[in-house]
Amino acid sequence: MNERKPLKSSGIRSTASRAEQESGSEREERGSAARVVQRLREGGSTALSSGEVLTLQRTLGNRSAGRLLSSSSAARPDAPIQAMGEEGPSGYSWLRPKAKHDIEDSPSFSWREKRSLHEVLKGDRDVRNAVSGTIFGSPPSKVERTLEKRYPKGPLLSHAEWNAIKAISKSLPGMQWLEAAGLLTVTQAKTYLQKGDFRRYNQLPGPTKLVLASYYDQHREFPVIGSPPPPPYSVYLSATNQTDRIDELTGEQWAQTLMRGEWTPEAQYAVQAGAVVNPKNRDQALNGAQVLGRHQQATQVLRNVFYLLHSQLELYAGKKNQGQYQLHTGNVAKVLSHGGRVNIRIPALGDSKENPHALMEWLGITHEAGELDSHDAVFSRLAGTHHVRIGDNKAGQSGSFKETGGMMAAINAKLHFDHLMGMNLAVGGLGKKDFNGDVILPDGAHGHMFIGFREPTLKRDGVLQIGIETTEPGGFSTVGYIHNWRSSEKTANPVSSVGGLKKDKVGDGSKNARTIDLAKVGEGDWKKRLDEIRSHFEGKLSAAQDEQAQKEVFKELTGPSISLKK
């Protein structure tokens, strides 16, 4: 008689094998830290890399690492970690040493184990009654495939499906069945949300994330929103079509970002600890003056982008409307809150003396002759999966203008010598805390602006593409998202930095959906009109006497276009 293989122990994405794997990783890191400590004690003068500093911080703790490094000649001059020996602010936490780069494997169940678990549940009369009429009467593999398709668009779990999970989770085999289907028990979901650690959220199975979003729908226990909303709450709002609440929350996050935030003790301490690295040299940490200078420039560029959105923002109305474009009458912030890009069409040059970089200079992205300075917040990117095909203007008619995406877009961007740039933001407000409790910094993890530019010529229009991404390429992520050359719209984090979902983008069609044609702005003098819009808002900001007055200005800036009032 064949002996049945023992079932696996249950847990919230935490099995014995995973714990063993984690402890092995910890042992390896402790060994690395020991070797670094030995180097320091032997009086080594070779500067430590930022990775070695992080290893010491994670293994020894911030203060102990600070004391050790403050007396060492190997401390990096470009990362002033001496301050690490000082007392840190209360509740101090920053992302970089906690970011999850590796993909965590979910517990795997063999086909035999899943079948065995399902047979056990079928023998439980109470469970049979509870799952009757729901997908949960199917084997765990089918349940997982079905629910995977419902994240993040919905529908969320129904009341009957929620009760089925409760019934299934009353026994150990039931809890194992849920785990085999990529699901959590209600108690596990509550524990996860209360803990408030979403640093691996993007790597969780779709059914798990569906349960987390459904918890809000079933229990009405909502988070207190001050920082960017936690991802499961954003999914809940989107899946239940709470558009007004989404616009309110995303607008608040943009306002906090545009106000520049505060240089809090937590932010200062984190930067001194090496929390913000130079995107052009990831072994180099930026000091406080560098971080503040770049942050000020980045915020002004972002404000200028919002001023631009108030000019002539149009949305593609779709083929059913004869492919027409219509003025966007909603909040301008909405076009940046849900992923995707805004494509700004730049008119062809009138003569050879006209400046092809005029728009870039107006935005504050580049300087004279389209150059970037080494100290700028804007930096060159090696690649981007975004491109616009532009045809030559002929016989007084504008050429074709079509956005493309994916790997071919990345190749075409190189072939057409597109200028690909990026700029790190502090979305949610510098110095405030994100949904993980980490201090918000312009560290590449709290929002990143993609900038794609091709100069206009005498024969052809140019283009500027602007899009807000959750992380810089190759950078850290607040949810464990890996942003690399394989990234695309399909693989991207579905929740934006301000809490909007990609599925709620405005504009029909996946490409060319959001456009500004500068030829239509200011009756041909687009720069004059943009100057008027900027003066309108900058004047109000200068007159604002307190923070509340500033918030009112930014509420107008993120709201409907002032050009619609003309």
Summarised one tens digit per residue, pLDDT across range 507-556 is: 866 667 899 999 999 988 999 999 999 999 999 999 999 999 999 999 99
Instruction: State the CB neighbour count (10 A cutoff) for residue 297.
Output: 18
> What is d(CA 261, CA 267) in angstroms, rounded to the nearest whole number?
10
Buried (b) or exposed (e) across 82-97, using 16+ Cβ within 10 A?
eebbeebeeebbbbbb
pLDDT band at 41 (very low <50, low <70, confident <90, very high): low
The predicted model gives 29-36 an average pLDDT of 68
Instruction: Provide CB contacts within 8 A for 31, sequence distance 6+.
Output: none
Closest CA to 516 of 465, 457, 456: 465
Q: Give the containing element (helix H, strand E) for 343.
A: strand 341-346
Banded model confidence at residue 224, pLDDT cuts 50, 70, 90 = confident
In this prediction, residue 372 carries a pLDDT of 72
Secondary structure element (H or E) that encloses residue 421, with its range: strand 419-424
Q: Which residue has the higher pLDDT, 318 or 67?
A: 318
pLDDT at 194 over 80: yes
Phi first, then psi: give them for residue 32, nearest 5 degrees: -65, -40
Lowest mean pLDDT among 119-123, 151-155, 508-512: 508-512
Distance CA 184, CA 138 (A): 17
Q: Is the pLDDT of residue 359 over 50?
A: yes
Total H helices, total E strands in the chain: 18, 12
482 CB contacts (<8 Å, ≥6 apart)? 101, 103
Last residue of some domain: 217, 252, 287?
252
| Banded model confidence at residue 383, pLDDT cuts 50, 70, 90 | low
Same domain, 195 and 287: no
* Beta bridge partners of residue 486, listed in sequence order: none
Task: Name the token pair of 242.
Answer: 């709470």
Q: Are 121 and 173 in contact (CB under 8 A)?
A: yes
Residue 438: count of CB within 10 angstroms of its CB: 26
> In the predicted model, what is the mean pLDDT of residues 130-143?
95
Strands 277-278 and 281-285: antiparallel
User: Mean pLDDT across the stretch 289-301?
Assistant: 95
**pLDDT at 392 (0 to 100):** 81
Radius of gyration (C-alpha) of the chain in whole angstroms:
26
Question: Measured between alpha carbons, how far is 135 from 154 in angstroms, rounded to an integer?
Answer: 15
Is the same domain home to 236 and 284?
no
> What does the CA dihedral 6, 7, 12, 15 come to, rounded to 10 degrees?
30
Query: Residue range 29-37: average pLDDT?
Result: 67
> Is residue 281 assigned to a domain?
yes
**Residue 62 maps to a domain:** yes
Q: Is residue 265 part of a domain?
A: no
Look at residue 70 in the predicted model and tell me its pLDDT: 44
* 238 or 417, which is more confident: 238
CA–CA distances in Å: residue 475 to residues 104, 442, 555 = 18, 11, 31
Are residues 207 and 83 located together in one domain of the fold?
no
Using CA atoms in the order 59, 62, 63, 69, what is the torsion angle rounded to 10 degrees?
80
Boundary (domain end) residue, out of 252, 282, 307: 252
Q: What pLDDT sits at residue 182?
A: 95
Question: Do 304 and 405 sit in the same domain of this protein?
Answer: yes
- Containing domain of residue 65, as a range? 16-87
**pLDDT at residue 11, as a whole number:** 42
The pLDDT of residue 494 is above 80: yes
pLDDT at 79 over 50: no
**82 and 115 fall within a common domain:** no
Residues 417, 498: one domain?
Answer: yes
Query: Domain for residue 262, yes or no?
Result: no
- pLDDT-derived band at 225 (thresholds 50, 70, 90) equals confident
3-state secondary structure of 543: helix
- Kindly report the backbone phi and psi dihedral angles of residue 9, in degrees, each rounded to the nearest multiple of 5, phi listed first: -70, 150
Confidence of residue 232 (pLDDT cuts 50, 70, 90): very high
User: Do residue 195 and residue 284 come from a single domain?
Assistant: no
Q: In whole angstroms, what is the distance from residue 311 CA to residue 315 CA? A: 13
Q: Are residues 209 and 291 in the same domain?
A: no
Distance CA 26, CA 19 (A): 10
Task: Report the domain count for the chain.
Answer: 3
Q: pLDDT grade, residue 395 (50/70/90)?
A: confident
Q: What is the pLDDT of residue 291?
A: 95
- pLDDT, position 497: 94
Q: Is 294 exposed, middle or buried (0-12, 13-18, 19+ CB in 10 A)?
A: buried
Does residue 162 belong to any structural domain of this protein? yes
What whole-number percentage of the chain has pLDDT above 90?
56
Q: Which amino acid is at 25?
A: S
Q: Give the pLDDT confidence score for residue 205 in this predicted structure.
A: 93
Dist. CA 465–CA 386, nearest whole Å: 8
Average confidence (pLDDT) over 324-339: 92
Contact predicate 68/56, CB 8 Å: yes
Q: 365 and 396: one domain?
A: yes
pLDDT at position 513: 83
Q: Does residue 152 have a cis bond before it (omega within 30 degrees)? A: yes
List, in sequence order, the alpha helices (H) in 326-406. Answer: 358-363
Higher pLDDT, 372 or 377: 377
Find the mean pLDDT for residues 457-471.
92
In which band, very low, low, confident or very high, does the pLDDT at 20 lie, cut at 50, 70 and 90?
Answer: very low
Inter-residue contact 273 to 57 (CB < 8 Å)? yes
116-123 long-range contacts (CB < 8 A, ≥24 apart) are: 116/4, 116/5, 116/7, 117/7, 117/173, 117/176, 117/177, 117/180, 118/177, 120/173, 120/177, 121/168, 121/173, 121/174, 121/177
Specify if 104 maps to a domain: no
pLDDT of residue 134: 96
Please give the mean pLDDT across all residues of the chain. Answer: 82
Q: How far is CA 210 from CA 14, 135, 238, 420, 457, in A?
A: 19, 14, 12, 36, 49
At 560, phi and psi to the nearest 5?
-60, 150
Are 95 and 478 within 8 A, CB to CB? yes
| Residue 473 or residue 92, greater confidence | 473
| Residue 112 CA, distance from chain mean position | 39
Alpha carbon 475 to chain centroid distance?
11
Residue 75 in any domain: the answer is yes
Q: CA–CA separation, 155 vs 171, rounded Å?
A: 27
Answer for the pair 215, 222: CB distance below 8 angstroms, yes or no.
Answer: no
**Residue 368 within any structural domain of the chain:** yes
Over residues 71-84, the mean pLDDT reads: 38
Tokens 């008119």 identify what position? 347
Band of the pLDDT at 57, cuts 50, 70, 90? low
Question: Which tops the pLDDT comparison, 23 or 261?
Answer: 261
Residues 125-137, mean pLDDT to the nearest whole number: 93
The stretch 215-240 carries a mean pLDDT of 92
Q: Pick the residue with more confidence: 242 or 484?
A: 242
SS3 410: helix
Distance CA 25, CA 19 (A): 10
What pLDDT sits at residue 61? 54
Q: What CA dihedral angle connects 41, 44, 47 and 51, to 10 degrees? A: -50
Are 376 and 287 in a shared domain? yes
Beta bridge partners of 450: 422, 467
Together in a domain, 222 and 282 = no
Assess whether 342 and 483 both reside in one domain: yes
